[in-house]
């Protein structure tokens, strides 16, 4: 996810201002939401706020892991987003040094980074590691700059070789801003390490998740490394036609599985404040009515928007249900990580047209995908 602007307002206005941080949307006056009725709800955890950070990728993917956990447990679980963020900051640093500063180094990431981090480092509860030290909300605006300055000072220092203890100094910075990571922690009266927690409590298996995208500059039913700046770890995605990708999402939700969504929100059609994301037909739907007509889309226009850099991986969210308007139009119910903003308290209703035009990628539990589709993608 990219950072669009900085916000310097006080804490009282923080949740509202986070909209400005993460999308360049200029909102019209708020209108009353269209009446939606649930068609399918996937049980999930509460809405959180990523604060003044670009870590939506961790909040959305962590929400998906929490939701998967709830399918096999009678209890909810609150996982630490910042434990994963810290581990990915370390992975980013190693990548940045090896590429001698010629690589992306920012707060952004993709959903597969959370899957990879949990596989490598494990997981822990938010109670055990919140990532909050001296503030009551998350703010990485100074942290990321200090981390990059530290790495640049190592890269630019002569003569070589670089010091072998650079990671110790880097971790000291992370401790200062996020707090030291406990080697063990208690969960429901039992002591765990992050690795044992992921294995014994989450029963985590990275192979249970599938990365999917849809772009025609690579062959369909093959995989490729998605060319977006935040894919620093070179994650590979299965490439399928857009309509099949959409059908996978509808089907997954009907089966009770949620979906991680990487999309573009820096456009006037994504309106968190009013809880709606549609792409209205200007001739037939001038009032941004959810039940009204939307433009027609096709794969060619979708591809063009990606290649001319209109569609970018601005933001990741979590799709957790299907809602219908009174005339039967279906919407994806999407859980955002900007706090309880808008008429749906942090959720936004997204039309299939908006999804089709703006989606960069998705991550789906493998169990939600049919055997025939898995075979077409070559996923075992």
Element containing residue 263 per DSSP (H, E): strand 259-263
82-130: pLDDT as tens digits: 999 999 999 999 999 999 999 999 999 999 999 999 999 999 999 999 9
| Paired residues of 350 in beta bridges | 277, 332
Q: Read off the pLDDT of each residue in 15-26 and give the average, rounded to a whole number.
A: 39
| 316 three-state secondary structure | strand
Residue 239 within any structural domain of the chain: yes
The count of residues in the chain is 380
pLDDT at 74: 79
Exposed, middle or buried: residue 330 (CB in 10 Å: 0-12, 13-18, 19+)? middle
Residue 72 within any structural domain of the chain: yes
| 28 three-state secondary structure | coil
pTM value? Answer: 0.91
Of the chain, the percentage scoring pLDDT greater than 70 comes to: 91
Tell me which DSSP letter residue 216 carries: T
| 164 three-state secondary structure | coil
Q: Read off the pLDDT of each residue in 181-201 and give the average, rounded to a whole number.
A: 97
Q: List the structure tokens of 71.
A: 């399918």
| Paired residues of 52 in beta bridges | 139
Residue 3 within any structural domain of the chain: no
Residue 2 within any structural domain of the chain: no
Residue 100: give the domain boundaries. 11-377
Residue 157 within any structural domain of the chain: yes
Q: What is the Cα–Cα distance from 289 to 274, expressed in whole angstroms?
A: 11
DSSP-derived secondary structure for 49-65: B--BSS-HHHHHHHHHH
Give Cα separations from 96 to 87, 91, 259, 279 (angstroms). 14, 9, 30, 38
| Per-residue pLDDT at 23 exceeds 70 | no
Residue 75's pLDDT band (cuts 50, 70, 90) = confident
Our count of domains for the chain comes to 1
Q: What is the Cα–Cα distance from 33 to 204, expressed in whole angstroms?
A: 38
| Per-residue pLDDT at 28 exceeds 50 | no
308-331: pLDDT as tens digits: 999 999 999 999 999 999 999 999
| Per-residue pLDDT at 135 exceeds 70 | yes
CATH of residue 140's domain is 3.90.70.10
CB 237 within 8 A of CB 361: yes
208-264: pLDDT as tens digits: 999 999 999 999 999 999 999 999 999 999 999 999 999 999 999 999 999 999 999
Residue 1's pLDDT band (cuts 50, 70, 90) = low
Nearest to 88 by CA among 61, 63, 48, 127: 61
The residues, any chain, with a CB within 8 Å of residue 283's CB and separated by 6 or more, are none
Mean pLDDT of the chain: 91
Residue 231 within any structural domain of the chain: yes
| 209 three-state secondary structure | strand
Residue 123 within any structural domain of the chain: yes
Q: List the structure tokens of 67.
A: 């939701």
H-helix segments, the chain: 14-22, 56-71, 81-98, 111-121, 141-155, 166-178, 194-200, 242-254, 299-307, 352-358, 371-377
Residue 5 within any structural domain of the chain: no
Residue 153's pLDDT band (cuts 50, 70, 90) = very high
């Amino acid at each position: 996810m990219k950072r669009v602007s900085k916000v310097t307002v006080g804490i009282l206005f923080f949740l509202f201002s986070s909209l400005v941080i993460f999308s360049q949307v200029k909102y019209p006056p708020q209108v009353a939401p269209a009446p939606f009725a649930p068609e399918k709800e996937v049980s999930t955890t509460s809405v959180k706020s990523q604060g003044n950070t670009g870590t939506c990728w961790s909040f959305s993917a962590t929400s998906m892991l929490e939701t998967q956990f709830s399918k096999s447990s009678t209890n909810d679980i609150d996982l630490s987003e910042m434990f994963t963020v810290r581990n990915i900051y370390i992975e980013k640093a190693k990548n940045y040094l090896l590429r001698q500063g010629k690589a992306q180094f920012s707060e952004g990431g993709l959903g597969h980074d959370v899957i990879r981090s949990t596989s490598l480092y494990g997981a822990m509860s938010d109670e055990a590691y919140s990532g909050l030290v001296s503030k009551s909300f998350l703010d990485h605006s100074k942290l990321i700059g200090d981390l990059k300055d530290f790495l640049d000072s190592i890269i630019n220092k002569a003569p070589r070789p670089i010091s072998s203890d650079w990671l110790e100094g880097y971790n000291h910075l992370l401790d200062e801003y996020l707090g030291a990571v406990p080697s063990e922690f208690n969960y429901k009266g039992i002591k765990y390490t992050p690795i044992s927690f992921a294995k014994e409590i989450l029963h985590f298996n990275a192979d249970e998740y599938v990365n999917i995208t849809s772009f025609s500059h690579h062959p369909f039913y093959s995989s490729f490394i998605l060319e977006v700046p935040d894919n620093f770890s070179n994650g590979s995605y299965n490439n399928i036609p857009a309509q099949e990708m959409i059908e996978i999402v509808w089907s997954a939700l009907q089966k009770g599985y949620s979906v991680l969504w990487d999309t573009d929100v820096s456009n006037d059609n994504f309106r968190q404040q009013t809880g709606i994301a549609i792409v209205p037909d200007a001739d037939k739907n001038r009032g941004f009515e959810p039940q009204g007509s939307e433009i027609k889309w096709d794969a060619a226009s979708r591809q063009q928007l990606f290649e001319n850099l209109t569609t970018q991986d601005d933001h990741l969210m979590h799709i957790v249900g299907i809602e219908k308007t009174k005339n039967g139009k279906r919407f994806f119910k999407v859980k955002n990580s900007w706090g309880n903003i808008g008429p749906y308290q942090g959720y936004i209703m997204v039309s299939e047209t908006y999804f089709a035009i703006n989606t960069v990628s998705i991550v789906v539990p493998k169990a939600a995908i049919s055997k025939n589709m898995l075979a077409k993608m070559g996923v075992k």
